[in-house]
């Protein structure tokens, strides 16, 4: 599982050399995008039927890359207490329809530190329908590392 942590760190460090090599710079033209602020909710995988994760934050779009920072909260269930924390990530757009993102989050659950890494992809089949897949790995010092695989569909209204 240490490999997942190192892989997540490597994904986030990809942007740093790109700035140094002038592949990306602070003068990079931003995309006119009305989706800079985001809020999303999704079922929390593995935590029961009535458990939700809510994320909100700010996304800074560059040419094919977006960098984002936000907050995250998971609702409480009988088996899992409420978890809240901060997240950061990058999203790369291969095309207008294919997006791949990586995210690191650090939160607290009953005064206990919990770290999570995730990678996900989304493919837009039409203007209102897409499919997505993801892998989340939770690093908890008191328990074994937990991996959650997700496959789903998305609807836009």
Domain made up of 2-155: CATH architecture: Beta Barrel (2.40)
**Beta partners for residue 113, in sequence order:** 108
3-state secondary structure the chain: CHHHHHHHHHHHHCHHHHHHCCCCCCCCCCCCCCCCEEEEEEECCCCCCCCEEEEEEEEEECCCEEEEEEEEEECCCCCCCCEEEEEEEEEEECCCCEEEEEEEEEEEECCEEEEEEEEEEEEEEECCEEEEEEEEEEECCCCCCEEEEEEEEEECC
Phi and psi angles of residue 55, each rounded to the nearest 5 degrees, phi first: -120, 140
Residue (of 98, 11, 28) closest to 62 by Cα position? 28
Is this model's pTM higher than 0.85 or not? no
Q: What is the pLDDT of residues 77-135, one digit of tens each?
A: 666 677 788 999 999 999 889 999 999 988 887 778 888 899 999 999 998 899 999 99
Q: What is the pLDDT of residue 155?
A: 85
Q: How confident is the prediction for the chain on average, in pLDDT?
A: 76
Task: Give the pairing type, strands 98-109 and 83-93.
Answer: antiparallel
Q: What is the pLDDT of residue 120?
A: 92
Domain borders along the chain are 2-155
Q: What is the pLDDT of residues 93-109, one digit of tens each?
A: 998 899 999 999 888 87
> How many CA within 13 A on the CB side of residue 150?
22
Q: What is the pLDDT of residue 23?
A: 45
pLDDT-derived band of residue 52, with 50, 70 and 90 as boundaries? confident
Q: What is the pLDDT of residue 138?
A: 84
């Amino acid at each position: 599982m240490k490999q997942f942590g190192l892989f997540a760190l490597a994904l986030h460090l990809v942007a740093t050399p790109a700035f140094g090599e002038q592949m990306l710079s602070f003068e990079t033209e931003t995309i006119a995008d009305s989706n800079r602020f985001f809020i999303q909710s999704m079922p929390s995988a593995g935590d029961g039927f009535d458990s939700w994760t809510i994320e909100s934050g700010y996304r800074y779009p560059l040419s094919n890359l977006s960098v984002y920072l936000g907050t995250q909260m998971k609702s409480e269930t009988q088996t899992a207490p409420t978890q809240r924390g901060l997240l950061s990530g990058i999203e790369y757009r291969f095309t207008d329809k294919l997006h791949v993102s990586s995210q690191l989050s650090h939160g607290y659950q009953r005064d206990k530190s919990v770290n999570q890494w995730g990678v996900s992809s989304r493919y837009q089949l039409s203007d209102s329908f897409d499919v997505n897949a993801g892998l989340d790995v939770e690093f908890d010092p008191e328990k074994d590392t937990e991996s959650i695989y997700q496959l789903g569909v998305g609807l836009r209204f």
